[in-house]
Amino acid sequence: MNKVLIIGGGAAGMLAGITAAREGASVIIFEKNEKLGKKLFITGKGRCNVTNACERSELFRNINANPRFLFSAFENFDNVALMDFFEDLGLSLKTERGKRVFPASDKSSDVIKALKEELDRLKVTVKLNTRVKAFEFNNRRCLLILEDSGGKVFKEAGDSLIIATGGLSYASTGSTGDGYAFAKQAGHTVTKLIPSLVGIETEEEFPSHVQGLSLKNVSLTLENEKGKKIYSDVGEMLFTHYGISGPLVLSASAHIAGALAKSQSTGNLYIDLKPGMSPEELDLRLLKDFGGELNKSFRNAFDSLLPLSLIPEIVKMSGIDPDKKVNSVTKEERQHLVGLLKHLKLTVSGLRDFNEAVITKGGVNVKEIDPKTMGSKICEGLYFAGEVMDLDAMTGGFNLQIAWSTGYAAGYAAAHRQA
């Protein structure tokens, strides 16, 4: 019977542990937190978006980094297999807008409970409040140096080691980059680490003047410094004290992180406040609104078109005298206003830090990992699972699917390793 040691009791680590145990291995999970699944507990605003029910081809389209690396992992354990896995554990699921899959109870704690009960059923040993200080491989065996909450140092030997420590995002949940140090110790390289799926900081100050304002059904477009469009979508966003956030912005940030991984390039964002109208239609709408009360001041002409808190900012940016009567607004001024409403520019100055990021972009170089087994090509008996690798995706359950699929692959391979 193979003995499999797993560092990290998050989504990838628990799935790896269950898979290895089902394949007949003796499994021990070491988790430095006081409980399993601490980051899993807060995902999806506490509801846990476990996966996405899209076609497999769409899964790949939503993978930002190294999608080809995941072909084998998704072939052996994809989103359909994951949903069947949870249903078999007695966890009812539901599918919502965007094919996002959640537990029917809307409680992430139920996802963790289902996983923990299966670990218990399989007699997987879980050691909480236990920190891995170091490891080494000798004679095809792994030896961990560990420390418990009381400061006691002890050792544990095994046939295989799976590193499933997560990335750097949400350090309060234990994601402090331990796995990167372990990987480097084993001879692996780690690519540039950047926060992703995170709020975007802007040079302009006006977002702070309307912080808390949420806009729905707006279009957000990201262009690189050469003016090439690299992201565009319609949805919801939020103005903050530092810039912008919300679902649209988190998705855009993944593309900014990708650009930053290659250079210092950031780019510009453009908000279309009225994506359902063409410039010509919006101009006609303005003419209609302006024609309603010809003696109305320009500053008071947008009550039915824009959120109240945004109006003073748009008026200021338009360069038109706020007290000017709408019947005196020229065609050129009106066209400039249309351009402003359709292409409200924001200059990207950076991304928020890892403490606010949903995921980490970058990680252990996947060129040094076998995509079928998640096994190290450098250190025999070492495996990786989840966010610690240079793999990341868009929001909507795709990042968790990476964790499940790679956890399954690592757990299966580690259990069947020929020692």
Q: Are the CB atoms for 385 and 5 separated by under 8 Å?
A: no
Structure confidence by residue, pLDDT tens digits, 158-208: 999 999 999 888 777 767 789 999 999 999 999 999 999 999 999 999 999
Position 366 scores a pLDDT of 97
Q: Tell me the average pLDDT of the chain.
A: 93
Q: Calculate Rg over the CA atoms of the chain.
A: 25
User: If DSSP codes are grouped into helix, strand and coil, which group holds residue 259?
Assistant: helix
Closest Cα to residue 165, out of 124, 132, 190, 123?
132
Q: Are the CB atoms for 177 and 387 separated by under 8 Å?
A: no
* pTM: predicted TM-score of the whole model, two decimal places: 0.89
Structure confidence by residue, pLDDT tens digits, 318-376: 999 999 998 889 999 999 999 999 999 999 998 998 988 889 999 999 999 999 999 99
Closest Cα to residue 415, out of 5, 44, 100, 69?
5
Express as a percent the part of the chain with pLDDT over 70.
Answer: 99
Mean per-residue pLDDT pooled into runs of 10, the chain (419 residues): 95 98 97 92 88 95 95 97 97 94 96 98 97 87 92 94 90 80 94 92 94 95 88 94 94 86 79 96 91 83 90 95 91 94 94 90 97 96 96 94 98 91
All domains of the chain in start order, with CATH = 3-194+360-415 (3.50.50.60), 199-352 (1.10.8.50)
Helical packing angle, 79-88 and 398-415, nearest 10°: 80
Q: Are the CB atoms for 346 and 249 separated by under 8 Å?
A: no
- Using CA atoms in the order 215, 220, 224, 227, what is the torsion angle rounded to 10 degrees? -120
